[in-house]
């Protein structure tokens, strides 16, 4: 085959293949969005995407199905996500500065431990952690979910930031040091402003992972007033009868909208973060 | 450089670091140290201790020696859960990585619209772990669901994929394969690193497409493949949400979606048998560590490091 012919045939075939794969992959999600706008009996009659009429009742029904209403869960999730983001940004950047720029006793050893904790499954620590937090009365508050972030236990982000700081020119630190800056000032005035891309990546991943996280929220939040979106959605699905698929789809769509928006805003940072450190 | 490469370098030994800055390091690392003691290492050790006790949160823990660990050896539901989890990990991870590599190879070579495709294929990785997608899955694979409707168009009789113990686990495997986007992005980044001159030289020597893939792409990509393999195996062992939602928290039908983590959750947080749950947690840690160690051991036979 000549290269010309090859280019004419292979490239369009590739595109056709990729579009097909993408379409098949995303079809279920689109079908859910369409289903959320259909009356219950129509959802399963048609595998197509265009609803016959727009049936927004699913949304109002789903929104008010539990007490309190879905708005409370969205607010709870938002508060939790915000706390986790602030916690991760502050604590992980501090730890990363130490690992990337300071020389201290046993640094290699501590750094190895930090890397090791990236791989540690939460299931191994959840039982004693639960015992600890329930003894100090933190169950049914957001503290067991936020405090670990304030204590830099998301080692993945520490590592991501260490990688980033290592790429910053040391001459800047040294110039600041000659001008009389100590480490706190070098960190706040020089390193932190330069590492905004890493901070953005951390923000967006923390947002998505916390919004989706189910296991720890299921364990720590048992009072409906404190439910977050995933816990509420699960409780809604368990409590409703099979005929109300429309409203289950509607609330599922509502719960995915923030993720989708975060994805649209932060694609660049997500791709970079995954590519350099290997996220989930 | 990935976290795994860092660990490799650390093991080999690097330049000695002279200690100064100790005071500053202490303050910068203070939150992390506290987290290490109270949130990470402390609980790991505590769960080891609790593993030797009977403890229900209300009465104080009672020492029962090795009973919990003996129970691990005889608990048939646990053995079933191990079988389910191993099947899930050993089937879904290779399939997921094969899809990731295949699509990454299609996407490489400066294809127009690369950024768009990359995003589209990556999106399921972000959505995949949510409760909403698990809810969707119960419908897509339900008796009246999307899959059966589409099969019906071709005159194929479907079945209740999720209510049938023979197929319930496969739907979760499909779900994990569906999230191939994040390893795909790592593969794409790795493919970028392979110098074009290698391919040009091979083409001049008359190497076929397959030979170029087998002799250049695969060896140079093997560290990335290894990284993805280690990471995705660790990740798959911890799957919980999807099995929990799809089975309504039971691991059913007939324990066919009873993941190890789900069993652990039931023991610890439904039956409040915290001692046994702790023993189970440690056992899980050992299993994951063993798999990772085997991976590292096997790596010396197939992973090619250029340095």
Least confident of A89-93, B8-12, B184-188: B8-12
CA distance A148 to A153: 6
Q: Which residues does residue B63 pair with via DSSP β-bridges, in sequence order?
A: B53
Residue A259 distance to chain B (closest CA, Å):
7
CA distances from A245 to A64, A65, A146, B279 (A): 15, 13, 33, 40
Residue A212 distance to chain B (closest CA, Å):
5
Could you count the other beta carbons within 10 Å of the beta carbon of residue A265? 13
Is A280 part of a structural domain of the chain? no
Give A191's Cβ-side CA count (13 Å radius). 29
Q: Are residues A7 and A80 in the same domain?
A: no
Q: Are residues A46 and A112 in the same domain?
A: no
Angle A41-B176-B135 (CA atoms, 0-180°, nearest 5)? 25
Sign of torsion, CA B217 B220 B224 B226? positive
**Tens digits of residue pLDDT in B246-289:** 998 888 788 999 999 999 999 999 999 999 999 999 999 999 99
Q: Is B209 exposed, middle or buried (0-12, 13-18, 19+ CB in 10 A)?
A: exposed
Using CA coordinates, name the residue in chain A closest to B8.
A112
Task: Look at residue B96 in the predicted model and tell me its pLDDT.
Answer: 97
Structure tokens at A234: 């699960």
Q: Are residues A106 and A215 in the same domain?
A: yes
Q: Which residue has the tokens 């508050």?
A: A141
pLDDT exceeds 80 at position B214: yes
The candidate with the shortest Cα–Cα distance to B238, out of B122, B88, B48, B75, is B88
The answer to whether B267 contacts chain A (CB < 8 Å) is no
Using CA coordinates, name the residue in chain A closest to B18.
A103
ipTM of the complex, rounded to two decimals: 0.89
The answer to whether B189 contacts chain A (CB < 8 Å) is yes
Q: What is the dihedral of CA A60, A234, B231, A107, to 10 degrees?
A: 90
Give B303's Cβ-side CA count (13 Å radius). 19
Report yes or no: A242 and A44 within 8 Å, Cβ to Cβ.
Answer: no
Q: Are residues A49 and A177 in the same domain?
A: no
Q: Are residues A92 and A202 in the same domain?
A: yes
Residue B148 distance to chain A (closest CA, Å):
9
CA distances from A135 to A128, A129, B45 (A): 10, 10, 18
The candidate with the shortest Cα–Cα distance to B117, out of B173, B193, B180, B175, is B180
Residues of A within 8 A of B245 (CB-CB) are 214, 234, 237
At the topology level, CATH places domain B76-302 in MetI-like fold (1.10.3720)
Domain boundary among A222, A239, A256: A239
Q: How many domains are there within chain A?
A: 2
Residue B215 distance to chain A (closest CA, Å):
23
Report chain B's mean pLDDT, rounded to a whole number. 89
Report yes or no: B111 and B161 within 8 Å, Cβ to Cβ.
Answer: no
CA distance A54 to A226: 33
Residues of A within 8 A of B6 (CB-CB) are 111, 115, 159
Among B7, B24, B117, the residue with its CB nearest the CB of A115 is B7
Q: Are residues A211 and A159 in the same domain?
A: yes
CA distance A69 to A202: 31
Q: Are residues A47 and A80 in the same domain?
A: no
Residues of A within 8 A of B17 (CB-CB) are 103-104, 107-108
Report chain A's mean pLDDT, rounded to a whole number. 89
**Model pTM score:** 0.90
A130:B18 CB<8 A: no
Helix locations, A36-69, DSSP H: 40-43, 57-63
Is A278 part of a structural domain of the chain? no
**Residues near B256 by Cβ (< 8 Å), separated by ≥ 6?**
B84, B165, B166, B168, B169
Size of interface A-B (CB pairs under 8 A): 282
**Tens digits of residue pLDDT in A93-144:** 999 999 999 989 889 999 999 998 988 889 889 999 999 999 999 999 999 9
Give the residue numbers spanning the domain of A25. Answer: 3-61
Strands (E), chain B: 53-54, 62-63
Length reported for chain A: 280
Q: Which residue has the tokens 């939150």?
A: B31
Task: Look at residue A66 in the predicted model and tell me its pLDDT.
Answer: 86
Is A191 part of a structural domain of the chain? yes
Scored b (16 or more CB within 10 A) or e, B30-57 reads: bbbebbbebbbbbbbebbbebbbbbbeb
Report yes or no: A123 and B284 within 8 Å, Cβ to Cβ.
Answer: yes
Is A266 part of a structural domain of the chain? no
**Tens digits of residue pLDDT in B232-245:** 999 999 999 999 99
Residue B95 distance to chain A (closest CA, Å):
15
CA distances from A59 to A35, A230, A277, B249 (A): 11, 17, 39, 25
Q: Are residues A75 and A207 in the same domain?
A: yes
- Enclosing H/E stretch for B147: helix B146-153
Residue A125 distance to chain B (closest CA, Å):
5
Report yes or no: B241 and A216 within 8 Å, Cβ to Cβ.
Answer: no
**Tens digits of residue pLDDT in B19-77:** 568 889 999 999 999 999 999 999 999 999 999 999 988 888 999 989 999 999 999 99
Q: Specify the 3-state DSSP secondary structure of B271.
A: coil
A212:B130 CB<8 A: yes
Q: Are residues A41 and A154 in the same domain?
A: no
Residues of B within 8 A of A118 (CB-CB) are 3
Give A224's DSSP letter: G
Mutate one of A124, A215, A227, A241 to test the B interface: name it (highest B CB count within 10 A): A124
Structure tokens at B143: 């008796």
Task: Look at residue B17 in the predicted model and tell me its pLDDT.
Answer: 45
**Interface list for B 277-306 with A (CB within 8 A):** 277-278, 281-282, 284-285, 288, 292
Structure tokens at A201: 């990546």
Q: Are residues A146 and A197 in the same domain?
A: yes
Res. A243 pLDDT band, cuts 50 70 90: low
Q: Are residues A150 and A169 in the same domain?
A: yes
Q: What is the mean pLDDT of residues A45-51?
A: 75
Task: Look at residue B20 in the predicted model and tell me its pLDDT.
Answer: 63
A119:B234 CB<8 A: yes
Residues of A within 8 A of B176 (CB-CB) are none
Is A88 part of a structural domain of the chain? yes
Using CA coordinates, name the residue in chain A closest to B240.
A215
Among B103, B182, B277, the residue with its CB nearest the CB of A279 is B182
Give B228's Cβ-side CA count (13 Å radius). 27
Task: Look at residue B16 in the predicted model and tell me its pLDDT.
Answer: 46
Is A87 part of a structural domain of the chain? yes
The candidate with the shortest Cα–Cα distance to A80, out of A138, A136, A143, is A143
The answer to whether A180 contacts chain B (CB < 8 Å) is no
Q: Are residues A34 and A153 in the same domain?
A: no
**Interface list for B 59-98 with A (CB within 8 A):** none
**Interface list for B 116-155 with A (CB within 8 A):** 117-127, 129-133, 135-137, 139-140, 144-146, 149-150, 153
The answer to whether B171 contacts chain A (CB < 8 Å) is no
Could you count the other beta carbons within 10 Å of the beta carbon of residue B19? 13
């Amino acid at each position: 085959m000549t290269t010309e012919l090859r280019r004419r045939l292979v490239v369009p075939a590739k595109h056709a293949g990729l579009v097909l794969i993408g379409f098949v992959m995303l079809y279920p999600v689109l079908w859910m969005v369409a289903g959320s706008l259909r009356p219950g009996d129509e959802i399963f009659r048609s595998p197509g995407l265009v609803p016959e009429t727009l049936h927004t009742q699913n949304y109002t029904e789903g929104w008010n199905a539990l007490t309190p209403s879905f708005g409370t869960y969205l607010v709870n999730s938002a508060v939790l996500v915000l706390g986790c983001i602030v916690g991760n940004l502050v604590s992980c950047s501090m730890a990363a500065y130490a690992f990337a720029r300071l020389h201290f006793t046993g640094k290699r050893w501590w750094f190895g431990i930090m890397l090791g904790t990236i791989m540690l499954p939460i299931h191994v620590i959840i039982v004693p952690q639960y015992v600890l937090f329930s003894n100090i009365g933190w169950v049914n508050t957001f503290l067991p979910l936020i405090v670990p972030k304030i204590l830099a236990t998301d080692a993945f982000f520490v590592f991501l930031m260490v990688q980033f700081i290592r790429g910053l020119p040391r001459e800047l630190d040294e110039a600041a040091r000659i001008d009389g800056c100590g480490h706190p000032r070098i960190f706040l005035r020089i390193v932190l402003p330069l590492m905004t891309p890493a901070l953005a990546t951390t923000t967006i991943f923390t947002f998505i992972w916390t919004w989706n996280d189910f296991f720890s929220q299921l364990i720590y939040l048992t009072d409906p007033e404190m439910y977050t979106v995933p816990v509420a959605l699960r409780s809604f699905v368990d409590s409703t009868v099979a005929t109300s698929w429309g409203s289950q789809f509607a609330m599922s769509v509502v719960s995915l909208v923030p993720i989708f928006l975060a994805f649209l805003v932060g694609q660049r940072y997500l791709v970079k973060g995954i590519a350099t450190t290997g996220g989930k | 450089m990935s976290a795994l490469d860092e660990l490799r370098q650390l093991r080999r030994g690097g330049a000695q670091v002279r200690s100064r800055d100790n005071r500053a390091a202490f303050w910068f690392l203070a939150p992390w140290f506290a987290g290490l003691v109270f949130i990470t290492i402390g609980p790991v050790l505590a769960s080891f201790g609790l593993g030797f006790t009977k403890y229900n949160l209300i009465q104080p823990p009672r020492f029962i020696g090795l009973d919990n660990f003996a129970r691990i050896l005889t608990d048939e539901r646990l053995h079933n859960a191990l079988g389910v989890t191993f099947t899930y990990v050993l089937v879904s991870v290779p399939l997921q990585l094969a899809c990731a590599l295949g699509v990454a190879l299609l996407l490489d070579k400066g294809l127009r619209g690369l950024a768009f495709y990359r995003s589209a294929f990556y999106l399921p990785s972000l959505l995949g772990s949510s409760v909403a997608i698990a809810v969707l899955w119960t419908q897509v694979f339900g008796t009246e669901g999307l899959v059966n409707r589409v099969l019906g168009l071709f005159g194929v009789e479907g079945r209740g994929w999720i209510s049938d113990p023979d197929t319930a686990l496969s739907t979760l495997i499909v779900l994990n394969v569906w999230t191939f986007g994040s390893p795909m992005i790592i593969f794409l980044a790795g493919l970028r690193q392979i110098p074009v001159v290698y391919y040009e030289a091979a083409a001049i020597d008359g190497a076929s497409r397959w030979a170029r893939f087998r002799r250049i792409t695969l060896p140079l990509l093997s560290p990335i493949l290894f990284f993805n393999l280690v990471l995705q195996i660790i990740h798959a062992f911890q799957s919980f949400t999807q099995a929990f939602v799809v089975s309504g928290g039971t691991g059913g039908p007939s324990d066919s979606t009873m993941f190890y983590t789900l069993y652990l959750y039931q023991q610890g947080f439904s039956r409040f048998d915290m001692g046994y749950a702790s023993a189970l947690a440690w056992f899980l840690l050992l299993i994951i560590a063993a798999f990772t160690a085997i991976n590292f051991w096997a790596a010396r036979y197939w992973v090619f490091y250029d340095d």
